[in-house]
Amino acid sequence: AQSVAQPEDQVNVAEGNPLTVKCTYSVSGNPYLFWYVQYPNRGLQFLLKYITGDNLVKGSYGFEAEFNKSQTSFHLKKPSALVSDSALYFCAVTSNYQLIWGAGTKLIIKP
Separate counts of helices (H) and strands (E) for the chain? 0, 12
Closest CA to 50 of 22, 74, 72, 23: 74
Site stretch for other proteins (CB under 8 A), options 14-22, 28-36, 61-69, 75-83 = 28-36
- Strand duo 105-110 + 44-50: pairing: unpaired
Residues 67-106 that bind other proteins (CB under 8 A): 88, 90, 94-99, 101, 103-104
Residue 5 binding other proteins, by CB under 8 A: no
Please say whether the beta carbons of 38 and 45 come within 8 A: yes
Residue 34 binding other proteins, by CB under 8 A: yes
List the beta bridge partners of residue 64. 58, 77
Nearer to other proteins, 14 or 108 (CB): 108
Total residues at the site for other proteins (CB under 8 A)? 23
Residue 17: how many other CB atoms lie within 10 Å: 12
What gap in Å lies between CA 49 and CA 55, rounded to an integer? 11
Nearer to other proteins, 38 or 73 (CB): 38
Site stretch for other proteins (CB under 8 A), options 10-18, 43-51, 70-78, 79-87 = 43-51
Residues that bind other proteins (CB under 8 A): 32, 34, 36, 38, 41-46, 49, 51, 88, 90, 94-99, 101, 103-104
